[in-house]
Structure 1
Amino acid sequence: MKLIDLNSDGGIGANSLYVQLGDFHLVIDSGLHPKKSGREAAPDLSPLEGVKLDLIIITHCHLDHIGSLPLLMRRYPDVPVIMTPASRILIERMLHNSVSVMTREREEKGTPDYPLFTRDEVNRGLARMYAQPTGHAKKFSGAKDEIEFILHPAGHIPGAAAVEVIHKHRRLFFTGDVLFNTQRIIPGAKFPSARFDTLVTETTRGATESTPGVTRSTEMIRLVDTINATIQRGGSVLIPVFALGRMQEIMAILHDARKFHKLVDAPIFASGLGMDIADLFDDIAKKTGTVHFTRTILKELGVRKTPRDTVAGKEPGQQGIYVVSAGMLVERTPSYTLAASLAASPKHSICFVGYCDPDTPGGHLLAARSGEPFLFEAANVKVKLRCQVERFELSGHADREELLAYAVQCNPRSIVLTHGDPPARAWFMEQLREKLPNAKVLDPVPLQSYLV
């Protein structure tokens, strides 16, 4: 197998892998880097020059995995794109939203390349996007060679899939983004217990140590307790979330807590893309049965639209629980504005419930100390950090020990590390060399070609 990481910065960003098996050529995912703008945010497709691509596979619909898909499809106008049925329902809304965000950034920041593609281009591309149910083998033929592939449920978010590929007598497995634990809205990953020749694994939480006694259940209880204490002292709670998956998971947790009279009576605010996706989850639940989330949850919670009059640096006019994006407090998002409004008062709380890049405003806030000055640069607001800032281990990614155990179980001849920052990959490299001394472990340099 020939493999090239097309994410020019490596790490977690414009996720995209080019894979050649004999004379069969495929690309897995085509994302956008969340911290970059313009063409620099997209994968570098120059290694594909002269390649006759046969197939594109999408693992899931987060923008760091699909955000540049129309660019790849533009270069290869006849190549089919395969994904799960749930992802096929989600992808249209996600890509249209990306056009809206890029158009707004062009107006606000003057980014000349934006939007990288248009709504019409998204609409035209939908005819080439096909749903493939998980657990069903499908064969695809290239000019000379043929592959067989199977999508496997990967947890993480609705529609997320790992990819098993069989070429001649070789078996390869790409985990994609994976969570083995069951969430409120979807089951955990169901991976095959087979031996693979090559394993390509995500490494997101490789630098995160597990805390003894901390489970998903105990963290959900702690989150609800933190919300209750904050509201009872007169404060508001901000829960920054990713619009796809994380917002709906948190709403389901709050719904369960309220149903069993464990959650304080306070208004819940949300709006934007996450609410639209809730409608799509309702559709997915009815059509596929793979999601345990309906609009009834939001109705019974009495979720209100986030007030539009929130001003950075000024406390919000309504006390409540704010479940809003972006999950990492990216500048000029509702969560960023609300964080700048709550940070100065000890009565408020900011609760992080997912992965937070250390270089984002959310990462900076988690690293800051109480009482220190904190600058919300994009809002031109500087405060002394007094609010309660908490991180809850409710990540959509598997613990490193679980992924390590799966790698050992697969006993592959070679292992490729992806989707992780350098410290995370370094942990996996060290552990895999110890646990699987006969395996070739590769942390690929972006844009370099490897025979695996």
Structure 2
Amino acid sequence: MNITDLNRHGGIGANSMLVQIGDLNILIDAGLNPKRPGLEGIPDLASLRGVRLDLIIVTHCHLDHIGSVPVVMRDHPNTPVLMTEASRLIIEKMLHNSANVMQRQKEEKNIPGYPLFTHEEIDRLAPRMQGLAFGRKKKFRGKTDEIEIMFHRAGHVAGAAAIEVWHKHRQIFFTGDVLFENQRTLQGAQFPAGHFDTVVIETTRGATERQEGKERVNEVARLINSINDTIQRGGSFLLPVFALGRMQEILSIFHDARRFGRLVECPIYAAGLGMAIADIFDEISRKTKDVQFSRAVLRELKLKPMPRQIEPGKNPTQPALYILASGMLVERTPSYMLASGMLGHARNTIGFVGYCDPDTPGGALLAAKHGEDFVFDAVNVKAKINARVERFELSGHADREELLQYAIQTQARSIVLTHGDPDARAWFTAQITERMPGTTVTDPVPLALCEV
């Protein structure tokens, strides 16, 4: 088997991997790096020129895994695209939203190459996308070889899949992005036990050791307590969230807390793509049972819509809880605009519940110190950091120790590292080398063919 990491900059971003098994060529994911606008943010698809692509697999519908899928489909018009049934229900909404964002960025910043695809193209390509239920095998044939594929639940987000592949007498396992813990809306990863010849494993949290007491149940309780304290002090609480998965999970948490009298009574505002995704979660829950979510959550929380225009630098006059996109305070999003007005007031709190890239406004705010000046460049606002800025450990990725233990029990001959920054991969390399001395560990060089 040969693997080529097509994410030209390495790390986490435009995730895409060309896998050659026998005479079959399989592309796993084709993402988009939002930090690198334009063609620089997509995988190196030039490596696929002249390649007969037999199959495209989508592990899940986050933009860093699907943002370039229509581009690949355009270049390979006869290649089927396979994903889980839940991902099939989600992917079009995510791609249409991406087309809107790229068109706006094209108009504001004149980014060459944007938009990468249009709404019409998404609609035209959609019939080629196929859903496959978890636990069902599906065969694919090349000219001479045949493989079987099965999806396993990977937790992480609705529809996320790990991929088990059989080729002759060889079993190969791709973890995809993983979360073993159950969430309110989603069961944790359910991976097959036993041996594999090769395991391709994500390494996102390899450089992060979970501190004692920071378990998910404790962090949820800490989040609820922080919201209650903020509202009771007369402040507002801003929770920037990712649209897919995190918003629906947070809404479910708050619904349960309110039902049992643990969440203070206050207005709750919500806005962004996540509200439309909530409708899709309701549909998935009814059709496939792959998530546990109902639109009744929105009604019972009495969610209020945000005004279409949020005035930069203006603090809310009424104490409230705000659940807004984007999760990293990306420029000009609702959470960014509201944060520019809330940050200067000591009664307020801004709480992060997911990963924030250090180069985003959210990452910069988390790294800043209380009392420093913080500049919201996109809206020309400078504010002193007087509000509380907190981080809650509710990651959608498995702890490194959990992934390491899974890797060890597979007794794999070969382990390939993916989806992680250099320090995260270095931790896995050292640990696997020490704990599995008979296993070959490979950290692929971007765009270089790797034989495993």
TM-score range, shorter-chain basis? Answer: over 0.9
Give the match for residue 200 of structure 2.
200
Q: CA deviation at 1:442?
A: 1.1
Q: CA deviation at 1:112?
A: 2.8
Offset from partner CA, 1:67-107 (integer Å, 9 cap, x none)? 11000001100100000100000011111111111111111
- What is the rounded CA distance, in whole Å, between the counterparts of 2:233 and 2:275 in structure 1? 29
Give the match for residue 431 of structure 2.
431
Q: Which amino acid aligns with 2:70?
A: P
- What is the rounded CA distance, in whole Å, between the counterparts of 1:43 and 1:111 in structure 2? 17
- What is the rounded CA distance, in whole Å, between the counterparts of 1:404 and 1:311 in structure 2? 47
Partners of 1:310 and 1:316 within 8 A in 2: no
Offset from partner CA, 1:193-238 (integer Å, 9 cap, x none)? 0211111111111111111122111110000000000001111111
Give the match for residue 421 of structure 1.
421
Count of matched residue pairs: 452
Give the match for residue 68 of structure 1.
68
- What is the rounded CA distance, in whole Å, between the counterparts of 1:327 and 1:231 in structure 2? 21
Give the match for residue 158 of structure 2.
158
- What is the rounded CA distance, in whole Å, between the counterparts of 2:331 and 2:421 in structure 1? 22
Q: CA deviation at 1:272?
A: 2.4
Give the match for residue 312 of structure 1.
312
Matched, 1:446 2:428: no
Q: CA deviation at 1:340?
A: 1.3
Partners of 1:244 and 1:274 within 8 A in 2: yes
Give the match for residue 227 of structure 1.
227
Give the match for residue 83 of structure 1.
83
- What is the rounded CA distance, in whole Å, between the counterparts of 1:70 and 1:200 in structure 2? 25
SS of the aligned residue for 1:190 comes to coil
Deviates more, 1:416-425 or 1:277-286: 416-425
Partners of 1:154 and 1:189 within 8 A in 2: yes
Partners of 1:8 and 1:446 within 8 A in 2: yes
Deviates more, 1:45-54 or 1:247-256: 45-54
Q: CA deviation at 1:433?
A: 1.0
Give the match for residue 218 of structure 1.
218
SS of the aligned residue for 1:199 comes to strand
Q: CA deviation at 1:381?
A: 1.4
SS of the aligned residue for 1:354 comes to coil
Q: CA deviation at 1:312?
A: 2.0
Partners of 1:198 and 1:414 within 8 A in 2: yes
Partners of 2:271 and 2:334 within 8 A in 1: no
Q: 1:309 to 1:48 in 2, by over 3 A?
A: closer
Q: Which amino acid aligns with 1:224?
A: I
Matched, 1:238 2:238: yes
Give the match for residue 280 of structure 1.
280
Offset from partner CA, 1:323-362 (integer Å, 9 cap, x none)? 1111111111111111211111111101110111122111
Offset from partner CA, 1:384-415 (integer Å, 9 cap, x none)? 11111111111110001100111111111111
Q: Which amino acid aligns with 1:159?
A: G
Partners of 1:92 and 1:126 within 8 A in 2: yes
- What is the rounded CA distance, in whole Å, between the counterparts of 2:24 and 2:189 in structure 1? 28
Q: CA deviation at 1:131?
A: 0.6
Alignment RMSD (CA, Å): 1.0
Q: CA deviation at 1:444?
A: 1.0
Long gaps (5+) in structure 2? none
Partners of 2:239 and 2:324 within 8 A in 1: yes
SS of the aligned residue for 1:258 comes to helix
Give the match for residue 113 of structure 1.
113
SS of the aligned residue for 1:265 comes to coil
Q: TM-score, normalised by structure 1?
A: 0.99
Offset from partner CA, 1:349-383 (integer Å, 9 cap, x none)? 01110111122111111111101111222221122
Q: TM-score, normalised by structure 2?
A: 0.99
- What is the rounded CA distance, in whole Å, between the counterparts of 1:424 and 1:377 in structure 2? 31
Give the match for residue 146 of structure 1.
146
- What is the rounded CA distance, in whole Å, between the counterparts of 1:362 and 1:67 in structure 2? 22
Q: CA deviation at 1:111?
A: 1.2
Matched, 1:179 2:179: yes
Q: Which amino acid aligns with 1:195?
A: H
Give the match for residue 18 of structure 1.
18
Q: Which amino acid aligns with 1:448?
A: A
- What is the rounded CA distance, in whole Å, between the counterparts of 1:388 and 1:427 in structure 2? 32
Give the match for residue 412 of structure 1.
412
Partners of 2:135 and 2:151 within 8 A in 1: yes
Q: Which amino acid aligns with 1:303?
A: L
Matched, 1:47 2:47: yes
Partners of 2:271 and 2:306 within 8 A in 1: yes
Give the match for residue 2 of structure 1.
2
Q: CA deviation at 1:120?
A: 1.2
SS of the aligned residue for 2:39 comes to helix
Deviates more, 1:376-385 or 1:299-308: 376-385
Q: Which amino acid aligns with 1:373?
A: D
SS of the aligned residue for 2:105 comes to helix
Give the match for residue 354 of structure 1.
354
Matched, 1:296 2:296: yes
SS of the aligned residue for 1:89 comes to helix
Q: CA deviation at 1:113?
A: 1.3
Partners of 2:140 and 2:147 within 8 A in 1: yes
Partners of 2:80 and 2:130 within 8 A in 1: yes
Partners of 2:272 and 2:334 within 8 A in 1: no
Matched, 1:100 2:133: no
Matched, 1:190 2:210: no
SS of the aligned residue for 2:416 comes to strand
Q: CA deviation at 1:316?
A: 2.4
Q: Which amino acid aligns with 2:326?
A: A
Q: Which amino acid aligns with 2:40?
A: E
Partners of 2:39 and 2:112 within 8 A in 1: no
